[in-house]
Amino acid sequence: MIEEKDEKRDVSYDEEQLFQNLIEENIDEFRKHFLSLHAYERAKFYVKVGPDIRRTMYHFLSPEEMAEIYEAIELDDEEVEHFIKEMDPTYAAKMLSYMYTDDVVDVLNELDQDDRNSFLELMDEETKEEITELLGYEEYTAGSIMTTEYVSIQENSTVRSAMNVLRQEAPDAETIYYVFVVDESHRLTGVLSLRDLIVADEDAFIRDIMSDRVVYAKVTDDQEKIAQIFKDYNFLAFPVVDDNLVLQGIITVDDIIDVIDEEASDDYSKLAGISDIDDIASSPFKAAKQRLPWLVMLLFLGMITATLMGQFEETLEKVALLALFIPLISGTSGNSGTQALAVVVRGIATGEIDEKSKLKMIFREMGTGLITGIVCGLIVVGVVFVWKQSLLIGLLVGTAICCSIFVATIAGSFIPLLIHKLGIDPAVASGPFITTLNDITSILIYLGLATLLLGQL
């Protein structure tokens, strides 16, 4: 315990010292301590300080050193635009030119068109051309997240010459663990690991030692598909080609981690019935704008529930006790439907559910809904009988819960599969939508049964 407290004090002391060095403009001490930190720690410090301190940092750090921070930083749209505009435009353009092209594209995509163009104009022609090409790819595709800093070698070269190429290009490459092999037309023909090159005979030809079974992506492939391939094959990097198999770039695992995080957040927000996860720093108006569309739609769906209950007004007037169990039945069926929905949406997103397994999944959920419905129904029968001393009311409520859970589980599994079949994101079949739908069906089942048994109650 003492060691942990000491470690925390050390981290706090370093931050205070960095602040002090910046305030006193002690450049040598600041650079000594700051540049000894990991890039992630530098990025955290940079985001934490205020604009005045950051402006001092721009004087103390070169554009190349600032580029390392921006490659490790995680910012939302407004922060990126705000921080970039704090810098001198020439300084910012130089910083961007030192970054890997895929990271530059991420930053520039957060700026408006005019600012983007002004920064591109300040860059050299080669860098500008590479970045402009990547900006031209549709968002969320392989082309939009790939980098052009990779190592490729000719298939007719020797291991010795390949190692020379690797030594020359490695400093500018984002990763060298995989070396991609191309022919004279720069078409992808194979792949080598760094280990393959190191252990091979120096006079061996690359085409003789490479693997020609290369898994690749097209520039137009969806980033979710790429993430699944990384997961299946445990890749560190992944080649991207055009329709003629000409190598265009590579996608690295750090970019895919960002994609997985982004897609998970997107699916979660849709399951919550909002267009995007609320940023805790966003204004109430912005948060309300994101949430209102779904809430208004669900409000109208809720009116259907109220209308249905109105049709059973006579039943409720005669046996007022029935109204007591409506929240229990609708809530339980909604929870059951949401559970099934979460399982199916996750299965579709991860590729576990395909065309062959869809029917199997529905039957499995039907069985699950039947078992859970019977168990919950029997529990409710016993509780209501002991509580209200009425076996008939207990059987009514227990039967309604059993049927509602069964129907809700089927709906929670079938609706996202149907939506996916129509080419729509299944996460759109969100929890609030399923819950509202199940409210309607559960009330219809419960009060419908009660009306049939009205003479016996």
Over residues 412-451, the pLDDT tens digits come to 888 888 877 877 666 655 556 677 788 888 888 888 888 8
pLDDT at 264: 64
Determine contact, residues 406/370, Cβ cutoff 8 Å.
yes
pLDDT at 358: 83
Determine contact, residues 159/208, Cβ cutoff 8 Å.
no
Determine contact, residues 309/439, Cβ cutoff 8 Å.
no
Domain 284-456 is of which CATH architecture?
Orthogonal Bundle (1.10)
Beta partners for residue 222, in sequence order: 141
User: pLDDT digits over 167-224, tens only?
Assistant: 998 888 888 888 999 999 999 999 999 999 999 999 999 999 999 999 999 999 988 8
Say what the pTM is: 0.60
**Every domain of the chain and the residues it spans:** 2-136, 152-252, 284-456
CATH 1.10.3720.10 fits 2-136, yes or no: no
How many CB atoms neighbour CB 417 within 10 A? Answer: 19
Query: Which of 369, 450, 365 is closest to 404 using CA atoms?
Result: 369
Q: What is the separation of C-alpha 1 from the centre of its chain, rounded to a whole number of angstroms?
A: 36
- According to CATH, the superfamily of the domain at 152-252 is CBS-domain (3.10.580.10)
**What's 390's DSSP letter?**
-
pLDDT at 161: 93
User: Looking up tokens 């966003």, which residue turns up?
Assistant: 282
pLDDT at 325: 85
Enumerate residue ranges in the chain where pLDDT < 70.
1-13, 75-78, 263-283, 285-295, 297-299, 301-302, 305-306, 308-310, 313, 315-319, 349-351, 424-433, 454-457
